[in-house]
A and B are shown apart, each in its own frame.
Chain A
Amino acid sequence: MKIEAWLKSNTFHHSAFWDVMQAVKEKERQNLKISLCIPTLNEEKTIGKEIVIFRSELMERYPLLDEIAVIDSGSEDSTLEVAKAFGADVHLASEILPDLDARTGKGENLWKAIYQLKGDIIVYVDADIKNIHPRFVYGLVSPLIYRPEVKYVKAFYDRPLAFSEKQVRPSGGGRVTEILVRPLFSLFFPDLTALIQPLSGEYAVRRDVLEKIPFPIGYGVETSHLIDVYNKWGLGAFAQTDLDQRVHRNQETRSLGRMAFGIMQTFLRRLENMDKIKDLPEMGKTLHQFQVRDRNYEQVQFEITEHERPPMISIPAYRKKFNRGEAHES
């Protein structure tokens, strides 16, 4: 599929889906169940507002969502208490599939949500969004409801609704996207450059896709999803929705360095598995950063290993719970 054609047919603005009642009717007609997963780690300042708004607007006013679950990595603040107080189902990732070896990371929470939640569609929304609004869910879920061929809908942000024809305004992602991921995609997967913000933490996906793809548990989860879904189903399986502005806390450049390091590990591993590059040497697992203290330069080292969870369909407990047969490559 050509990028231009895909941009035209599979890129939406959330305002196209303002009629939530219509989406609810169509969802009910298809007998779909939709689950919202909010992965958390110390998000007490923003989690309450997200839950109140989604519960009130998208469960009670318009029953688009069938469940809202917080899956937590072990918050030390009052995230869990606040989430419970506002009526969310709260789960510790470590208590889901507890017989598996212990892992910690956002990707782990997202992966375990596939087992824990019951939806045919799971929509993931990060917990640190200050300007949360129902559009963050209905804007992502609606393309899946109305377009059966779409399997994976990604959010992007901050594009003006109207500007003069002569004005060209760059539209893109954050620093890691523009400096690392987009150049890598341009080199190896040019079609995927059409996704304006490949690292955005908000996306809605069909269960029959989620259960068939592996999940890096750390920084690489979004990048790996895009590559794996693209490989199995092609660009046509994706859609993206403009959700206008997303207000969240900014990360320091040093944190972004760690993110980029994790993404590189995931990316290179995939290139090797796909025979796009050969004979990769043993890669380091330590990110070296530097800081100055009392006029002395010192090294700060971070051990970052991007463990991956296998496709959920390969987990016997999951197959039993959801009455699935053995995994088959499609």
Chain B
Amino acid sequence: MPESFEEILSMLPSLRGQCAAVREILLTNLVMVGEIPAPTFGEKERVDFLQRRFSECGLQNCSTDEVDNALAVLPGESGSQNILVVAHTDTVFPAAVDHTISLQADIVRGRGVADNSLGLAVLMTLPAALERANIRLQSNVVLIGASRSLGRGNLEGLRFFLGNNDMSLRAGVCVEGVELGRLSLTSIGMLRGEITCTVSEEYDWTRFGTTSAILTLNEAINRVLEIPVPRRPRTSIVLGTIQGGQSFNTIAKQAVLGFEIRSESRETAHKIAEQMQDITDELSSRTGADAVLDVFASRDPGGIAFSHPLARHTRAIMNELGITQRIAPSTSELTAFIDRKIPAVTTGITTAENLNQADEVVYIEPMFTGLTQLLGILLAIDGGFCDED
């Protein structure tokens, strides 16, 4: 066990070599887990695979739970403390599309390889990497493939685990496939939802706006864009997706806007949501169309300070490995830790292209730096260097 944080830093170059030695295991895990479709709420097959993998590694307490998380414990030497390492299991792709992954000398290509099959592959490879590097941590490492994370999932998997276990958690590390250099310490406030406009089957030509759900939604969008958005606290409204209509020559019966309100202030985000509620209520009453606001996911702002020992030591590890840092807030699993006041960071493993597209690509060589970074962070947490006084 390293005596000082400096000793951990000095170990990193040789650790990288050990991480590169588990390349085949990592790539195999990536391909095998990535080819199992896992849309949000449809992760079960992927989770079963993950659980089998955990069992094969000889981990303890391998199990799945009622919200389809896969869980396992890599027991520590003393086992008196617990470190949680989590990667989300779901992807943005529906089950029906081709999930075939191709492997070339320097890249892996396929749907979801970056977000977040690689994160899961790292989770499954971590025991082998620690063994190869001859690292025996004092703390237990709790590995979780967290389901129902994205979209309407609203981090249900990790939130369920954190809300229903009695483990005392020293710190958390969220593993994302991309981007190496990413470091998230804080969460911004976020409200995610949809505005759904529907017109009845029998519309009245004389009534404004009811001739098409798309026209009603267009009116709603124009009104949303008129909402004043403050510069401080930093706030934005992201209009992310839009769907509507069936064909060129039929009047759209339904149109749906997907949006996120992001703000450093919880109050500001909620105030904007109230204004959007007013807009949809008014549209419904004025046009006769049915405009419904549904806010189904939320994050509260928070996180650890830039100077927190976990943040400081993670940055030092990244520096030592020559990783260029991009520090930005997150709306991912980190938020669930923040809600529970558990210090945590989110890091990425490699570089990627075409994120969330059919030809998503991750680069192989940087993965070993990303994996080394994770080992360094675990060693630092395990050694007590990341605890606040």
Contacts and interface: CB of A to CB of B under 8 A. Distances in A.
Nearest to B104: A48
A55 B25 CA distance: 9
A49 B24 contact: no
Contacts of A85: 105
Contact of B56 (A49, A61, A82): A61
Contact residues on A (Cβ < 8 Å of other chain), bracket = 20 to 34
A215 B27 CA distance: 36
A247 B100 contact: yes
A319 B257 CA distance: 74
B24 A82 contact: no
Contacts of B32: 53, 133
A86 interface: yes
A86 B102 CA distance: 14
B267 to A, nearest CB: 50
A185 B56 CA distance: 44
A82 B103 CA distance: 10
A81 interface: yes
Contacts of B194: none
B208 to A, nearest CB: 52
Interface in A124-145: 130-131, 133
Contacts of B98: 247
Contact of A78 (B27, B101, B105): B105
B360 interface: no
A104 interface: no
A85 B24 CA distance: 11
A45 B31 CA distance: 14
Interface in B7-30: 24-25, 27-28
Contacts of A55: 24
A56 B103 CA distance: 14
Interface in A49-67: 49, 52-53, 55-57, 60-61
Interface string B65-109: 000000000000000000000000000000000101111110000
Contacts of A61: 25, 56
Given A49-B31, A131-B35, A86 B24 contact: yes
Contacts of A81: 105
Given A61-B56, A133-B32, A56 B102 contact: no
A44 interface: yes
Contacts of B24: 52, 55-56, 60, 86-87
Interface in A30-83: 44-46, 48-49, 52-53, 55-57, 60-61, 78, 81-82
A57 B28 contact: yes
Interface residues of B, number: 15
Nearest to A46: B102
A45 B100 contact: no
A130 B102 contact: yes
A87 B27 CA distance: 13
Contacts of B35: 131, 133
Contacts of A78: 105
A309 to B, nearest CB: 33
A49 B105 contact: no
Contacts of B101: 49
B27 A56 contact: yes
B28 A53 contact: yes
Contact of A82 (B28, B100, B104): B104
B105 A48 contact: yes
A82 B105 CA distance: 6
Contacts of A48: 103-105
B25 A45 contact: no
A314 B31 CA distance: 43
Contacts of B104: 44-45, 48, 82
A56 B105 contact: no
A52 B100 contact: no
A108 B149 CA distance: 52
B25 A56 contact: yes
A83 to B, nearest CB: 10
A39 B335 CA distance: 50
A45 B102 contact: yes
A247 B56 CA distance: 27
Given A56-B24, A56-B28, A131 B103 contact: no
A126 B56 CA distance: 28
Contacts of A46: 102
Nearest to B103: A49
Interface string B366-388: 00000000000000000000000
Nearest to A129: B100
Contacts of B102: 45-46, 49, 130
A291 to B, nearest CB: 31
A101 B103 CA distance: 36
Interface in B96-131: 98, 100-105
Interface in A102-159: 130-131, 133
A179 to B, nearest CB: 28
Interface string B222-264: 0000000000000000000000000000000000000000000
B211 to A, nearest CB: 46
Given A53-B31, A60-B24, 9 more contacts: A44-B104, A45-B104, A46-B102, A48-B104, A48-B105, A49-B31, A85-B105, A131-B35, A247-B100
17 contacts: A45-B104, A46-B102, A48-B104, A49-B101, A49-B102, A49-B103, A52-B24, A52-B31, A53-B28, A53-B32, A55-B24, A61-B56, A86-B24, A87-B24, A131-B35, A133-B35, A247-B98
Across the A-B interface, give the 4 residue pairs with the lowest CB-CB distance, nearest first. Answer: A56-B28, A49-B103, A56-B24, A48-B103
Interface of B: 24-25, 27-28, 31-32, 35, 56, 98, 100-105
